[in-house]
Amino acid sequence: MLRIYGRFALRRTGQAIVVVVLAYLFTFVVISILPGDPVTSTLRNPDNGFTEDDIARIVAYYGLDQPWYVQLGSSLGRFVVGDLGVSLRSNLPVGTLVFDALGSTLSLAAAALLVAIVLAVVIAYGTQFLPPRFGQGVLRSLPSLFLSVPNFVIGLLLIHVFAFGLGLFSMIDTETPWGTFFAAVALGIPVSAQLAEVLIASLDHESRQEYVAVARSRGLRSGALFLRHLAKPSALPTVTVLALIVGELLGGALITEAIFGRVGIGTLVESAVASQDLPVLQAVVSLAAVVFVVVNLVADLAYPLLDPRVSVGPSGRPAVSASREDPAPLLREEVGIV
Protein backbone atom coordinates (compact mmCIF):
# COMPACT_ATOMS: atom_id res chain seq x y z
CA MET A 1 0.00 0.00 0.00
CA LEU A 2 2.71 2.42 1.04
CA ARG A 3 4.78 1.47 -2.00
CA ILE A 4 1.82 2.12 -4.26
CA TYR A 5 1.28 5.47 -2.60
CA GLY A 6 4.95 6.34 -2.94
CA ARG A 7 4.87 5.59 -6.65
CA PHE A 8 1.71 7.67 -7.01
CA ALA A 9 3.34 10.58 -5.17
CA LEU A 10 6.48 10.35 -7.29
CA ARG A 11 4.53 10.32 -10.53
CA ARG A 12 2.39 13.24 -9.48
CA THR A 13 5.50 15.24 -8.54
CA GLY A 14 7.14 14.44 -11.86
CA GLN A 15 4.05 15.61 -13.72
CA ALA A 16 4.06 18.82 -11.72
CA ILE A 17 7.63 19.63 -12.77
CA VAL A 18 6.80 18.94 -16.42
CA VAL A 19 3.84 21.33 -16.19
CA VAL A 20 6.06 24.15 -14.89
CA VAL A 21 8.66 23.65 -17.63
CA LEU A 22 5.93 23.53 -20.28
CA ALA A 23 4.45 26.77 -18.95
CA TYR A 24 7.87 28.42 -19.25
CA LEU A 25 8.35 27.21 -22.82
CA PHE A 26 4.77 28.04 -23.79
CA THR A 27 5.20 31.65 -22.66
CA PHE A 28 8.36 31.95 -24.72
CA VAL A 29 6.68 30.55 -27.82
CA VAL A 30 3.55 32.68 -27.52
CA ILE A 31 5.48 35.91 -27.03
CA SER A 32 7.96 35.01 -29.74
CA ILE A 33 5.34 34.37 -32.42
CA LEU A 34 3.65 37.69 -31.64
CA PRO A 35 4.77 40.32 -34.10
CA GLY A 36 7.35 42.85 -33.03
CA ASP A 37 9.27 43.26 -29.79
CA PRO A 38 8.94 45.84 -27.00
CA VAL A 39 12.17 47.66 -27.78
CA THR A 40 11.39 48.22 -31.45
CA SER A 41 7.80 49.25 -30.69
CA THR A 42 9.02 51.97 -28.36
CA LEU A 43 11.76 53.17 -30.68
CA ARG A 44 9.46 53.26 -33.69
CA ASN A 45 7.17 55.80 -32.03
CA PRO A 46 7.15 58.44 -34.78
CA ASP A 47 7.76 61.13 -32.17
CA ASN A 48 11.28 59.76 -31.73
CA GLY A 49 12.44 60.44 -35.26
CA PHE A 50 14.92 57.52 -35.20
CA THR A 51 16.39 56.01 -38.32
CA GLU A 52 16.25 52.22 -38.80
CA ASP A 53 20.03 52.17 -38.20
CA ASP A 54 19.56 53.79 -34.80
CA ILE A 55 16.92 51.20 -33.95
CA ALA A 56 18.96 48.22 -35.15
CA ARG A 57 21.89 49.07 -32.86
CA ILE A 58 19.69 49.28 -29.76
CA VAL A 59 17.84 46.06 -30.66
CA ALA A 60 21.21 44.32 -31.00
CA TYR A 61 22.14 45.46 -27.47
CA TYR A 62 19.14 43.51 -26.13
CA GLY A 63 20.01 40.45 -28.25
CA LEU A 64 16.58 40.64 -29.87
CA ASP A 65 18.12 40.33 -33.33
CA GLN A 66 19.30 36.78 -32.53
CA PRO A 67 17.40 33.73 -33.84
CA TRP A 68 14.70 32.43 -31.49
CA TYR A 69 16.59 29.30 -30.46
CA VAL A 70 19.60 31.38 -29.38
CA GLN A 71 17.32 33.63 -27.32
CA LEU A 72 15.55 30.62 -25.79
CA GLY A 73 18.87 28.94 -25.02
CA SER A 74 20.30 31.93 -23.20
CA SER A 75 17.06 32.55 -21.30
CA LEU A 76 16.85 28.88 -20.22
CA GLY A 77 20.53 28.95 -19.27
CA ARG A 78 19.90 31.93 -16.98
CA PHE A 79 16.66 30.46 -15.61
CA VAL A 80 18.31 27.21 -14.53
CA VAL A 81 20.84 29.07 -12.36
CA GLY A 82 18.08 31.23 -10.92
CA ASP A 83 18.89 34.41 -12.87
CA LEU A 84 15.58 35.85 -14.02
CA GLY A 85 17.23 38.46 -16.24
CA VAL A 86 16.36 42.11 -16.78
CA SER A 87 13.01 43.56 -17.80
CA LEU A 88 12.93 44.74 -21.41
CA ARG A 89 10.44 47.42 -20.43
CA SER A 90 11.97 49.04 -17.38
CA ASN A 91 15.58 47.74 -17.55
CA LEU A 92 15.27 46.73 -13.89
CA PRO A 93 16.11 43.23 -12.56
CA VAL A 94 13.10 40.90 -12.89
CA GLY A 95 13.74 39.32 -9.49
CA THR A 96 13.37 42.69 -7.77
CA LEU A 97 10.22 43.56 -9.73
CA VAL A 98 8.51 40.26 -8.86
CA PHE A 99 9.59 40.33 -5.23
CA ASP A 100 8.33 43.92 -4.78
CA ALA A 101 4.96 43.04 -6.29
CA LEU A 102 4.48 39.77 -4.45
CA GLY A 103 3.58 41.17 -1.02
CA SER A 104 0.69 43.24 -2.27
CA THR A 105 -0.80 40.34 -4.23
CA LEU A 106 -0.39 37.85 -1.39
CA SER A 107 -2.22 40.08 1.07
CA LEU A 108 -4.97 40.71 -1.48
CA ALA A 109 -5.34 37.00 -2.31
CA ALA A 110 -5.36 35.96 1.34
CA ALA A 111 -7.96 38.58 2.23
CA ALA A 112 -10.07 37.62 -0.80
CA LEU A 113 -9.91 33.95 0.13
CA LEU A 114 -11.10 34.82 3.62
CA VAL A 115 -13.97 36.90 2.22
CA ALA A 116 -14.87 34.06 -0.14
CA ILE A 117 -14.89 31.42 2.59
CA VAL A 118 -17.01 33.52 4.95
CA LEU A 119 -19.49 34.36 2.18
CA ALA A 120 -19.69 30.76 0.98
CA VAL A 121 -20.23 29.34 4.45
CA VAL A 122 -22.92 31.91 5.25
CA ILE A 123 -24.76 31.24 1.99
CA ALA A 124 -24.48 27.48 2.28
CA TYR A 125 -25.60 27.49 5.90
CA GLY A 126 -28.57 29.62 4.92
CA THR A 127 -29.66 27.22 2.20
CA GLN A 128 -29.84 24.40 4.73
CA PHE A 129 -31.65 26.11 7.55
CA LEU A 130 -33.72 28.95 6.08
CA PRO A 131 -37.29 27.95 5.39
CA PRO A 132 -37.79 27.73 1.59
CA ARG A 133 -40.28 30.61 1.69
CA PHE A 134 -37.78 32.95 3.34
CA GLY A 135 -35.23 33.43 0.69
CA GLN A 136 -33.71 29.98 0.35
CA GLY A 137 -34.27 30.21 -3.41
CA VAL A 138 -32.58 33.58 -3.52
CA LEU A 139 -29.61 32.21 -1.63
CA ARG A 140 -29.36 29.22 -3.95
CA SER A 141 -29.22 31.51 -6.99
CA LEU A 142 -26.64 33.86 -5.45
CA PRO A 143 -23.62 31.83 -6.60
CA SER A 144 -24.64 31.99 -10.25
CA LEU A 145 -25.34 35.71 -9.87
CA PHE A 146 -21.90 36.22 -8.33
CA LEU A 147 -20.32 34.33 -11.19
CA SER A 148 -22.11 36.28 -13.89
CA VAL A 149 -21.38 39.80 -12.68
CA PRO A 150 -17.97 40.72 -14.02
CA ASN A 151 -15.30 41.36 -11.45
CA PHE A 152 -14.58 44.87 -12.75
CA VAL A 153 -18.21 45.97 -12.38
CA ILE A 154 -18.19 45.01 -8.71
CA GLY A 155 -14.85 46.76 -8.34
CA LEU A 156 -16.00 50.00 -9.96
CA LEU A 157 -19.18 50.02 -7.86
CA LEU A 158 -17.23 49.56 -4.64
CA ILE A 159 -14.76 52.30 -5.60
CA HIS A 160 -17.45 54.81 -6.50
CA VAL A 161 -19.50 54.18 -3.39
CA PHE A 162 -16.81 53.66 -0.75
CA ALA A 163 -13.84 55.65 -2.10
CA PHE A 164 -15.44 58.62 -3.84
CA GLY A 165 -18.80 58.62 -2.06
CA LEU A 166 -17.93 57.78 1.52
CA GLY A 167 -14.19 58.45 1.39
CA LEU A 168 -13.30 55.25 3.26
CA PHE A 169 -10.20 54.78 1.13
CA SER A 170 -8.47 56.76 -1.60
CA MET A 171 -7.25 55.82 -5.03
CA ILE A 172 -3.96 57.54 -4.30
CA ASP A 173 -2.88 55.30 -1.46
CA THR A 174 -4.45 51.95 -2.21
CA GLU A 175 -2.61 49.69 0.20
CA THR A 176 -4.53 50.85 3.27
CA PRO A 177 -6.60 48.30 5.27
CA TRP A 178 -9.88 49.62 3.81
CA GLY A 179 -8.42 49.69 0.32
CA THR A 180 -7.28 46.09 0.63
CA PHE A 181 -10.60 45.06 2.16
CA PHE A 182 -12.72 46.39 -0.70
CA ALA A 183 -10.38 45.02 -3.33
CA ALA A 184 -10.62 41.67 -1.55
CA VAL A 185 -14.43 41.86 -1.62
CA ALA A 186 -14.36 42.53 -5.36
CA LEU A 187 -12.06 39.57 -5.90
CA GLY A 188 -13.68 37.33 -3.28
CA ILE A 189 -17.29 37.53 -4.52
CA PRO A 190 -16.84 35.51 -7.72
CA VAL A 191 -14.53 33.09 -5.94
CA SER A 192 -17.08 32.52 -3.15
CA ALA A 193 -19.60 31.39 -5.76
CA GLN A 194 -17.61 28.27 -6.63
CA LEU A 195 -17.05 27.43 -3.00
CA ALA A 196 -20.69 27.95 -2.15
CA GLU A 197 -21.84 25.72 -5.03
CA VAL A 198 -19.75 22.79 -3.83
CA LEU A 199 -20.60 23.38 -0.20
CA ILE A 200 -24.34 23.51 -0.94
CA ALA A 201 -24.16 20.36 -3.06
CA SER A 202 -22.35 18.35 -0.42
CA LEU A 203 -24.52 19.72 2.38
CA ASP A 204 -27.59 18.66 0.40
CA HIS A 205 -26.06 15.23 0.00
CA GLU A 206 -25.07 14.84 3.64
CA SER A 207 -28.34 16.15 5.05
CA ARG A 208 -30.18 13.38 3.24
CA GLN A 209 -28.11 10.79 5.14
CA GLU A 210 -29.75 8.79 7.89
CA TYR A 211 -27.53 10.06 10.68
CA VAL A 212 -28.82 13.57 10.13
CA ALA A 213 -32.42 12.44 10.54
CA VAL A 214 -31.37 10.65 13.70
CA ALA A 215 -29.63 13.73 15.01
CA ARG A 216 -32.61 15.91 14.22
CA SER A 217 -34.97 13.48 15.92
CA ARG A 218 -32.80 13.79 19.03
CA GLY A 219 -33.68 17.49 18.97
CA LEU A 220 -30.31 18.84 17.87
CA ARG A 221 -30.44 22.51 16.88
CA SER A 222 -29.49 23.66 13.41
CA GLY A 223 -26.26 25.36 14.44
CA ALA A 224 -24.99 22.40 16.41
CA LEU A 225 -26.07 20.00 13.72
CA PHE A 226 -24.19 22.02 11.13
CA LEU A 227 -21.04 22.27 13.17
CA ARG A 228 -20.97 18.78 14.61
CA HIS A 229 -22.24 16.62 11.82
CA LEU A 230 -22.46 18.41 8.50
CA ALA A 231 -19.45 20.71 8.40
CA LYS A 232 -16.71 18.08 8.37
CA PRO A 233 -17.87 15.67 5.68
CA SER A 234 -18.95 18.58 3.47
CA ALA A 235 -15.60 20.31 3.86
CA LEU A 236 -13.68 17.54 2.12
CA PRO A 237 -14.74 18.29 -1.48
CA THR A 238 -14.49 21.97 -0.63
CA VAL A 239 -10.78 21.52 0.14
CA THR A 240 -10.35 20.11 -3.35
CA VAL A 241 -12.08 23.08 -4.90
CA LEU A 242 -9.85 25.42 -2.89
CA ALA A 243 -6.92 24.18 -4.93
CA LEU A 244 -8.70 25.26 -8.10
CA ILE A 245 -9.61 28.54 -6.52
CA VAL A 246 -5.97 29.50 -6.20
CA GLY A 247 -6.01 29.73 -9.98
CA GLU A 248 -9.14 31.86 -9.86
CA LEU A 249 -7.50 34.21 -7.38
CA LEU A 250 -4.38 34.58 -9.52
CA GLY A 251 -6.46 35.37 -12.59
CA GLY A 252 -8.88 37.65 -10.78
CA ALA A 253 -6.07 39.55 -9.08
CA LEU A 254 -5.00 40.83 -12.48
CA ILE A 255 -8.29 42.67 -13.09
CA THR A 256 -8.82 43.68 -9.47
CA GLU A 257 -5.37 45.20 -9.14
CA ALA A 258 -5.76 47.12 -12.36
CA ILE A 259 -9.11 48.57 -11.27
CA PHE A 260 -8.00 49.39 -7.73
CA GLY A 261 -4.67 50.79 -8.86
CA ARG A 262 -2.70 48.38 -6.72
CA VAL A 263 0.81 47.38 -7.65
CA GLY A 264 1.05 43.63 -7.55
CA ILE A 265 1.76 40.60 -9.67
CA GLY A 266 -1.45 41.27 -11.61
CA THR A 267 -0.44 44.75 -12.73
CA LEU A 268 3.09 43.50 -13.39
CA VAL A 269 1.67 40.84 -15.73
CA GLU A 270 -0.63 43.33 -17.38
CA SER A 271 2.15 45.76 -18.22
CA ALA A 272 4.43 42.91 -19.25
CA VAL A 273 1.82 41.52 -21.64
CA ALA A 274 1.07 44.96 -23.05
CA SER A 275 4.76 45.62 -23.67
CA GLN A 276 5.74 42.02 -24.57
CA ASP A 277 8.20 42.01 -21.71
CA LEU A 278 9.28 38.39 -22.07
CA PRO A 279 11.66 38.05 -19.09
CA VAL A 280 9.04 39.35 -16.64
CA LEU A 281 6.26 37.23 -18.15
CA GLN A 282 8.34 34.06 -18.00
CA ALA A 283 9.19 34.68 -14.38
CA VAL A 284 5.58 35.36 -13.38
CA VAL A 285 4.07 32.52 -15.42
CA SER A 286 6.59 30.07 -13.98
CA LEU A 287 5.86 31.33 -10.48
CA ALA A 288 2.10 31.02 -11.02
CA ALA A 289 2.53 27.54 -12.46
CA VAL A 290 4.63 26.50 -9.46
CA VAL A 291 2.02 27.82 -7.00
CA PHE A 292 -0.88 26.23 -8.86
CA VAL A 293 0.84 22.90 -9.34
CA VAL A 294 2.08 22.72 -5.74
CA VAL A 295 -1.37 23.49 -4.30
CA ASN A 296 -3.00 20.85 -6.47
CA LEU A 297 -0.24 18.38 -5.75
CA VAL A 298 -0.71 18.85 -2.03
CA ALA A 299 -4.47 18.41 -2.42
CA ASP A 300 -4.02 15.25 -4.49
CA LEU A 301 -1.44 13.75 -2.17
CA ALA A 302 -3.41 14.66 0.93
CA TYR A 303 -6.70 13.28 -0.31
CA PRO A 304 -5.98 9.59 0.16
CA LEU A 305 -4.49 10.38 3.56
CA LEU A 306 -7.44 12.54 4.68
CA ASP A 307 -10.26 10.26 3.67
CA PRO A 308 -9.75 6.64 4.60
CA ARG A 309 -12.41 5.62 2.07
CA VAL A 310 -10.26 6.87 -0.80
CA SER A 311 -7.37 4.60 -1.68
CA VAL A 312 -4.81 4.72 -4.43
CA GLY A 313 -5.85 2.17 -7.00
CA PRO A 314 -3.51 0.21 -9.22
CA SER A 315 -3.86 2.93 -11.81
CA GLY A 316 -2.14 5.26 -9.37
CA ARG A 317 -5.26 7.42 -9.17
CA PRO A 318 -7.33 7.87 -6.06
CA ALA A 319 -10.19 5.43 -6.29
CA VAL A 320 -13.17 4.72 -4.09
CA SER A 321 -13.41 1.35 -2.46
CA ALA A 322 -16.51 -0.16 -3.97
CA SER A 323 -18.10 -1.09 -0.70
CA ARG A 324 -18.69 2.48 0.44
CA GLU A 325 -20.51 5.27 -1.17
CA ASP A 326 -18.67 8.57 -1.15
CA PRO A 327 -19.77 11.83 -2.65
CA ALA A 328 -16.37 13.33 -3.04
CA PRO A 329 -15.14 11.67 -6.23
CA LEU A 330 -18.50 12.32 -7.84
CA LEU A 331 -18.12 15.95 -6.96
CA ARG A 332 -14.60 15.93 -8.26
CA GLU A 333 -15.99 14.75 -11.59
CA GLU A 334 -18.64 17.43 -11.41
CA VAL A 335 -16.25 20.30 -10.89
CA GLY A 336 -14.04 19.02 -13.60
CA ILE A 337 -11.17 17.64 -11.57
CA VAL A 338 -10.09 14.44 -13.24
Partner 1 sequence: MTIRTRPRRRLLGVASALTVGAILLSGCGAASTAAPSADATPKPGGDLVFLIDSLGATWIPNNSSISSYQGNIWGHLTDKLVYVDAEGALSPWIAESWDENADKTQFTLHLKEGVTFSDGTPLDAAAVVANIDIWAKGRPDEGINRIGLFPSANYQGAEAVDATTVTVSFSAPTLSFIPTLAYHGSILLSPTTLALPADQQADLTNDIGSGPFTVEKVADGDSVVLKKRDDYDWGPEAIGHDGPAYLDTITYKQVAEPSLRTASVESGQAQVAYNASPQDLDALKGEGLTVETPRYLGFVNGYALNTTVAPFDDVRVRQAVQHGIDRDEILSTVYTEDWHAAESLIQSTVPEATDRSADFAYDPDEAASLLDAAGWVKGADGVRTKDGQKLSFTLYPNPYLQASQSVDELVDQQLTTLGFEVNLETYDVPTYGQKVIGNAAVPATEITRSFVDVGTVAGVLTSQKKGDEDWFKVGTSDATLNDLATRIATATDRDARAAVADELQGYVLDQGYFVPLTQIVQRVYVQAPDVSGVTYNGLAYAYYLDAWLND
Chain contacts with partner 1 (rule: CB under 8 A): 34-38, 40-54, 57-58, 60-62, 86, 89-93, 97, 100, 143-145, 147-150, 153-154, 156-157, 159-161, 163-165, 167, 170-172, 193-194, 197-198, 258-259, 261, 263, 267-268, 271, 275-276, 334-336
Shortest Cβ 198–partner 1 spacing (Å):
7
Closest separation in Å from C-beta 169 to partner 1:
10
Q: Which residue number, 43 or 319, has a Cβ lying nearer to partner 1?
A: 43
Minimal distance in Å, beta carbon 61 to partner 1?
4
Number of neighbouring beta carbons within 10 Å of residue 20: 18
Angle between helices 177-207 and 151-158 (to 10 degrees): 130
Q: Measured from the CB atom, is 229 or 262 closer to partner 1? A: 262
Identity of the residue, 17 or 60, whose beta carbon is nearer to partner 1 in the bound complex = 60
Report the nearest approach of partner 1 to the CB of residue 148 (Å): 5
Instruction: Write down the least CB distance from residue 322 to partner 1, Å.
Output: 26
**Least Cβ distance, residue 67 to partner 1 (angstroms):** 18
> Of the two residues 199 and 285, which places its CB atom closer to partner 1 in the complex?
199
Q: What is the CA radius of gyration of the chain?
A: 24
**Nearer to partner 1 (CB atom), residue 73 or residue 103:** 103
Residue among 120 and 225 whose Cβ is closer to partner 1: 120
Toward partner 1, which CB reaches closer, 15 or 141?
Answer: 141
Work out the burial of residue 6: count CB atoms within 10 Å of its CB; fewer than 13 is exposed, 13-18 middle, 19 or more buried: exposed
CB 241 within 8 A of CB 194: yes
Provide the CA 141 distance to its chain's centre, in angstroms.
Answer: 23
Burial 312-334 (b: 16+ CB within 10 A, else e): beeeeebebeeeeeebbbebbee
Q: HSE-up of 126 (CA within 13 Å, CB side)?
A: 19
Nearer to partner 1, 173 or 210 (CB): 173
Residue at 204: amino acid letter: D
Distant-in-sequence, close-in-space partners of 175: CB < 8 Å, separation ≥ 6: 104, 262
φ/ψ region of 83 (left if φ > 0, alpha if ψ in -120 to 50, else beta) reads beta
Cα separation, 261 vs 183, in Å, equals: 10
Classify the phi-psi angles of 85: left when phi > 0, otherwise alpha if psi is within -120 to 50, otherwise beta: left
At residue 316, φ and ψ (nearest 5 deg) are 80, 15
Q: Residue 48 has what DSSP assignment?
A: G
Q: Work out how close the CB of 41 gets to partner 1 at its nearest, in angstroms, rounded to a whole number.
A: 5
Minimum Å gap between C-beta 36 and partner 1 is 3
